[in-house]
Amino acid sequence: MNTLVAVAIAPCGTGEELSAEVAEVIRVIRASGLPNRTNSMFTEIEGEWDEVMRVVKDATMVLAEKGIRTEVVLKADIRPGYTDMMHGKTKKVEDILAKGTEK
């Protein structure tokens, strides 16, 4: 079943700057081959439930297996019969906003 998740995976207690560790996590997500998109707070991943959860686990373990305390924040949208929600949901909102600016 198609699933879209927004996930933030970050080390805890490793210092003030976390970008190197976050980059390791994102590298795993990107290497998965699943559609994904990263912004300043979350990375979205889309695919079948089991595949997405495997990627979340693999990305989490890249830090945890180093002995780093790792925090995971995850939000999931499971919507049967839909695909490419990562882009489609945003496009619908942008289309509505564009119609509002034409007035």
State how far the Cα of 46 lies from the Cα of 79, in Å rounded to an integer. Answer: 11
Predicted confidence at residue 26, as pLDDT, reads 98
Residue 49 CB contacts under 8 Å (≥ 6 apart), including other chains? 1, 3, 78
pLDDT in tens, the chain (103 residues): 999 999 999 999 877 788 999 999 999 999 999 999 999 999 999 999 999 999 999 999 999 999 999 999 999 999 999 999 999 999 999 999 999 865 4
Domain boundaries, the chain: 2-101
In terms of DSSP H, where are the helices of 1-103? 19-31, 49-64, 85-101
CATH number of 2-101: 3.30.70.930
